[in-house]
């Protein structure tokens, strides 16, 4: 009979990392849930959106919420739901730079770690959202229902050209991505002395994102699939940043980082993700909308992605 310990030692190290890291369980479980929920949306995405728009026309309350979910002071409008995210971002940014001062700095390494992790997640949210919009170019429901554009299902390339897709692409929902601002806090709490708060905050983050996303669907600005995958991708980013970039399992116990380590890691990881999207988009554009500069964009962005990944890896080992 083969000894259990000997059999385990013969397994590839990669398998041990795969099964032991919570990162893979987060990604695997959320991908499975997203995949199952996407099955009825492959053909029903547009129908659900049209039904939601019709429902909101008959409800003053839904119309009010749709407007609140879309509004922001930064767009010259009355206060809206998006302003909660911006206010939190400014607060965390202010706390981070205060933690770098000589007066507070030596006592605030844990605060620096949290603020750096939070800001990294939010910046990666933004890069991922814009990159996915630019790559997939999915037409907005309103454009499809007006028959100005053709419908494309989840994960399929849509009809928008590059310039239109960057600012107007439907997949994924930008408002939903912004609304997930509490999700990094949930992951941080899971690695702190207040772990009992992690799941309530996680539930609140998902609920708030779903509420904002519902408002966007009922307004006709997005499909349910855009909202669903915006939330899942934000979850992936938070998990990857927690377990691979900032290594909260280890650093959360005794954070010791050099000055501005979190800021440098945030910038390089965001640049790497941006470059990866630019390279993939460049390849796509060479196929669908050829132009002389796309090969150059692809080569330069690939080089930047390689350099950025090396810099990021070095910083994570610090």
Q: What is the DSSP string of 107-139?
A: G-HHHHHHHHHHHHHHHHHHHHHHHHHHHH-PP
285 and 243 share a domain?
A: no
pLDDT tops 50 at residue 16: no
242 and 262 share a domain?
A: no
Residue 144 resides in a domain: yes
Number of domains in the chain: 2
Q: What pLDDT is recorded for position 4?
A: 45
84 and 232 share a domain?
A: yes
Who contacts 197 (Cβ-Cβ below 8 Å, separation ≥6)?
189
Residue 16 resides in a domain: no
Residue 244 resides in a domain: yes
Residue finishing a domain among 228, 253, 278: 253
What pTM value is reported for the model?
0.90
In the chain, the largest separation of any two C-alpha atoms, in whole Å, equals 73
pLDDT tops 60 at residue 250: yes
Find the helix packing angle between 22-57 and 224-240, rounded to 10°.
150
Could you tell me the pLDDT band of residue 22, with boundaries at 50, 70 and 90? confident
122 and 173 share a domain?
A: yes
209 and 187 share a domain?
A: yes
Closest CA to 112 of 262, 245, 264, 249: 262
180 and 266 share a domain?
A: no
188 and 298 share a domain?
A: no
Residue 12 resides in a domain: no
Cα–Cα dist 119/115, whole Å: 6
Contact 141, 41 (CB under 8 A): no
Contact 231, 176 (CB under 8 A): yes
Residue 13 resides in a domain: no
Share of the chain above pLDDT 70, in %: 90
54 and 119 share a domain?
A: yes
Mean pLDDT calculated for residue range 165-171: 91
Could you tell me the pLDDT band of residue 100, with boundaries at 50, 70 and 90? confident
223 and 263 share a domain?
A: no
Phi, psi of 307 (to 5 degrees): -60, -45
pLDDT tops 90 at residue 110: no
Residue 9 resides in a domain: no
Q: What pLDDT is recorded for position 257?
A: 63
| SS3 of residue 72 by DSSP | coil
**Cα Rg of the chain, angstroms:** 21
- What one-character DSSP code corresponds to residue 195? G
Mean pLDDT calculated for residue range 3-19: 46
Mean pLDDT calculated for residue range 78-101: 90
145 and 283 share a domain?
A: no
Task: List, for residues 32-68, the tens digit of each pLDDT value.
Answer: 999 999 999 988 999 999 999 999 998 999 999 999 9
Find the helix packing angle between 60-70 and 22-57, rounded to 10°.
130
Residue finishing a domain among 205, 225, 253: 253
Task: List, for residues 252-270, the tens digit of each pLDDT value.
Answer: 555 566 677 889 999 999 9
Give the domain extent around 201. Answer: 21-253
Residue finishing a domain among 235, 253, 271: 253
Residue 8 resides in a domain: no
157 and 239 share a domain?
A: yes
Task: List, for residues 193-227, the tens digit of each pLDDT value.
Answer: 888 999 999 999 999 999 999 999 999 999 999 99
Could you tell me the pLDDT band of residue 235, with boundaries at 50, 70 and 90? very high
Q: What pLDDT is recorded for position 106?
A: 59
Mean pLDDT calculated for residue range 81-99: 91
Cα–Cα dist 215/200, whole Å: 23
Residue 100 resides in a domain: yes
SS (H, E, C) 199-233: HHHHHHHHHHHHHHHHHHHHHCCCCHHHHHHHHHH
Classify the C-alpha dihedral 200-206-208-214 as positive or negative. negative
Q: What pLDDT is recorded for position 249?
A: 76
Classify the C-alpha dihedral 41-45-50-53 as positive or negative. positive
Cα–Cα dist 218/210, whole Å: 12
194 and 287 share a domain?
A: no
Q: What pLDDT is recorded for position 256?
A: 61
Cα–Cα dist 304/89, whole Å: 27
Q: What pLDDT is recorded for position 247?
A: 85
């Amino acid at each position: 009979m083969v000894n259990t310990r000997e059999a385990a030692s013969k397994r590839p190290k990669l398998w041990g990392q795969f099964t032991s890291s919570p990162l893979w369980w987060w990604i695997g479980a959320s991908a499975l849930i997203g995949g199952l929920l996407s099955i009825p949306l492959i053909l029903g995405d547009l129908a659900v959106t049209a039904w939601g728009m019709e429902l909101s026309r008959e409800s003053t309350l839904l119309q009010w919420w749709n407007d609140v979910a879309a509004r922001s002071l930064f767009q010259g409008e009355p206060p809206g739901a998006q302003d909660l995210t911006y206010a939190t971002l400014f607060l965390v940014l202010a706390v981070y730079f205060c933690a770098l001062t000589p007066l507070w700095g030596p006592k605030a390494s844990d605060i620096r770690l949290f603020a750096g992790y939070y800001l990294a997640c939010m910046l990666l949210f933004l890069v991922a959202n814009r990159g996915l919009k630019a790559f997939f170019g999915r037409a907005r429901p309103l454009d499809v229902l007006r028959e100005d554009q053709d419908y494309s299902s989840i994960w399929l390339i849509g009809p928008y050209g590059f310039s239109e897709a960057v600012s107007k692409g439907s997949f994924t929902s930008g408002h939903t991505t912004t609304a997930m601002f509490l999700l990094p806090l949930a992951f941080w709490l899971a690695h702190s002395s207040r772990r009992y708060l992690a799941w309530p905050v996680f539930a609140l983050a998902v609920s708030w994102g779903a509420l904002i996303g519902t408002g966007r669907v009922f307004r006709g600005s997005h499909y349910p699939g855009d909202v669903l995958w915006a939330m899942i991708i934000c979850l992936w980013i938070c998990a990857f940043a927690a377990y691979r970039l900032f290594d909260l399992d280890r650093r959360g116990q005794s954070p010791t980082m050099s000055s501005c380590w979190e800021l440098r890691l945030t910038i390089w990881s965001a640049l790497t993700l941006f470059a990866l999207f630019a390279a993939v988009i460049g390849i796509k554009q060479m196929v669908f909308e050829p132009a002389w500069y796309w090969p150059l964009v692809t080569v330069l962005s690939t080089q930047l992605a390689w350099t950025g990944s090396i810099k990021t890896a070095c910083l994570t080992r610090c």
